[in-house]
Structure 1
């Protein structure tokens, strides 16, 4: 029997007000995926020269937990009420941000980032549900586009805002979330709609935990491979743990009535392909962003603000290209556009591998590759999302979208680990240049593989007019 979702304590609520409130949470959670990159060198100096292999967990702890909990948190919101889930998630995120600003070493900071990620995973799917609940049906498509745009804005503003805040002190990267989040909490308590939950099954939290453990063990093997030795017992044990936990995740997904990844989704047109494309492309994307930050700050000696401004042209290209990509898809199909996006992104990275030198030269070395990678992102990410969701039935849209987002976050985490593993700890300027060139070649390879996987995507043709 279908149940009707009703709102507890109904009242007139402005859809714009609801969008404005939840957009704060979405923007902050997206921003924190990218804003911390430019702060890593300053964090290392403050924590007495912490190694990049350790600091990478400041990025990866957030991405892995955020990814694994997105789908369970979305189901929890549907079950218990999205207003409550959003507000608790925002409160947890704000608390985690405050604790991150007080962190005393790398381990504490990575641990508090996990708390941030739990909050972000709770608030993100609940925020979209609240927007849809408050918006009339005829205006929901525009509301969803605006909701997505706030997430993209976080990616674009992250490096620049991070650079500005690090000029004050790196702890401001986290502390700035607190007053903004508290205001959103207070206003949200008064104004957000309160649709009743459906009281369905509890989500598969065991599956989420095994996924977190599997990815974390694999990343541990990558980042510690050079220190421990690639054939050491520690690395082999970490890989074995990743395989065992991955198998446990697959078993849980097949047997649980509310799994993190519903196996039925993988049989839908394009869906499995777009999971692979999202994973591979975001490995490349994360590698690009982290390598640019490390090169400009540790090799060229630039400030965090200079680095943020240097990265900004790439994200600014993305929305322009994303609009044009819609016309290309109509003419060529999704597969060729995804393939082109992967190849173009790889070309931008290889630009760096051939043009960047030890002598700082932004226009001749870094800028061209940054613009070209932005072109690749604009061709790939919106197209991949459209192709991945095109075959989803309406009742699976939210879940399917969350799984695609999960693949993206896991790709970001693995990409950071790959860069750390490939760069190692080179001795001397020339060795550093060669290490980055190897890293850029690996990143370009991941982007090309993403394009190859995406080439098989097919969007359904619209039905002819009657």
Structure 2
């Protein structure tokens, strides 16, 4: 394989692993509960959310640091950290150690994700940069698609295998990456908002903790109210910091663009529903219907398959009709999936007539909505803010997933019965409707003339070494 081909493969492997590990632990939750029965779902949900919150908090600052220090350096450090963290997860003796190792995995993922696209663009000729972006987008999606069957296969041996599989893949990628991936640096320098990053991560963590612990501690209890107050104070600090720091976590210049703000809102809300779906359906199949993990993964698979099949048509429809129409249709279909499960699923429902239609419909909606919110969150960005704006959209995605997982845990931790899951699926439907309305509210703004995929990145000066 030519040197360029190996470099592309290494970068895409990193993207795939980061996407895979955002989802694969969902399928291992039942085995984790059996491994540590004293922990409970509320504690084990942090195994999922530690990764998502860390990834969300560090995406933007990691991208800025990589631009200055070198994207190859940042990507390879992230890949090494991710692989080492996978080893730590695989040998973790306690839930606390496992959660800490997942934080380290999130750091590695945050270093890989924002740098990977820039590295791909550096090794592709200008006329093929759209292909590079398509590969990057598809590979991150394939990680989520393959997570359920791969996770199900792994847990047949032990839940630790969902992390062990990362180790040889990561090690091979590190070896070839150092030899083939080119270095890319930006000429400009910008300060890092370290305090803002820490406060942002802590704020998301306390909000998630309040949601997860609410049913156990009591929604009106002192501890939950204290967490809510901390979340409000943290949010206020981040908002104030955005106007005072030269390179804040959330840039006001970006969120002032109406279409970008609505696109990020849609991204956040949709991924709350997506997090609810991924966690809620796995737990429903394994705990309410008492299906094995392998059977649950196979029953879940039609959703990712439909999402993959409709991703390309969704992108074409979005390009032809705009984010408003495609986003509204996709959001309504996603809501229909949740409402279908509200009315059709119970203890004695049939898979073919109860669960499968909702999963297939939900998969179609994901294929339609994801291109819509991705384009909405970036299409009106000025050229020098495209990288930061893309990272912000991914940040909203990870925060949404974390909140969705937390809400699911709050609903079903105390009474994991069919009635509790109806509340979970009702929230999924509401998120779908809200996503569709947010995208439909976007005016038919056209991006600047220079904002095609290639021009966006060419507009930012960089040095390839």
The TM-score normalised by the length of structure 1 is 0.93
Shift of the alpha carbon at 1:270?
0.6
Shift of the alpha carbon at 1:463?
9.8
Structure 1 residue matching 2:156: 3-state secondary structure:
helix
Hey, which bits of structure 1, 4+ residues long, moved more than 4 A? 461-464
Q: Quote the residue 2:119 is aligned against.
A: 130
Is 1:244 matched with 2:233? yes
Q: Quote the residue 2:139 is aligned against.
A: 150
Q: C-alpha separation between the residues in 1 aligned to 2:59 and 2:394?
A: 8
Match of 1:445 among 417, 430, 437: 430
Q: Quote the residue 1:314 is aligned against.
A: 303
Q: C-alpha separation between the residues in 2 aligned to 1:189 and 1:332?
A: 43
Match of 2:200 among 198, 206, 211: 211
- Does the 8 Å CA contact 1:83/1:192 hold for their aligned counterparts? yes
Is 1:435 matched with 2:424? no
- Does the 8 Å CA contact 1:80/1:199 hold for their aligned counterparts? no
Is 1:30 matched with 2:19? yes
Q: Quote the residue 1:10 is aligned against.
A: none
Kindly provide the CA deviation profile for residues 14-34 of structure 1, in whole angstroms up to 9, marking residues without a partner as x: 432221011111111110011
CA RMSD of aligned residues (A): 1.7
Kindly provide the CA deviation profile for residues 277-320 of structure 1, in whole angstroms up to 9, marking residues without a partner as x: 00100000110111110011112122221111111111111233
Q: Quote the residue 2:370 is aligned against.
A: 381
- Does the 8 Å CA contact 1:352/1:369 hold for their aligned counterparts? yes
Q: C-alpha separation between the residues in 2 aligned to 1:189 and 1:326?
A: 34
Is 1:273 matched with 2:258? no
Shift of the alpha carbon at 1:459?
4.2
Kindly provide the CA deviation profile for residues 111-135 of structure 1, in whole angstroms up to 9, marking residues without a partner as x: 1100000000001111212111222
**Which deviates more from structure 2 when the two are superposed, residues 352-361 or residues 100-109?**
352-361
Q: C-alpha separation between the residues in 1 aligned to 2:161 and 2:320?
A: 47
Relative to structure 1, is the Cα distance of residues 320 and 459 closer, same or farther in structure 2, using a 3 angstrom cutoff? farther
Q: C-alpha separation between the residues in 2 aligned to 1:103 and 1:184?
A: 24
- Does the 8 Å CA contact 2:255/2:261 hold for their aligned counterparts? yes
**Runs (5+) with no aligned partner, structure 2:** 450-465
Q: Quote the residue 1:336 is aligned against.
A: 325
Relative to structure 1, is the Cα distance of residues 269 and 247 closer, same or farther in structure 2, using a 3 angstrom cutoff? closer
Q: Quote the residue 1:6 is aligned against.
A: none
1:414-433 correspondence to structure 2 within 5 Å: 414-426=403-415, 432-433=417-418
Question: How many pairs are equivalent?
Answer: 448
Q: Quote the residue 1:62 is aligned against.
A: 51
**Runs (5+) with no aligned partner, structure 1:** 1-12
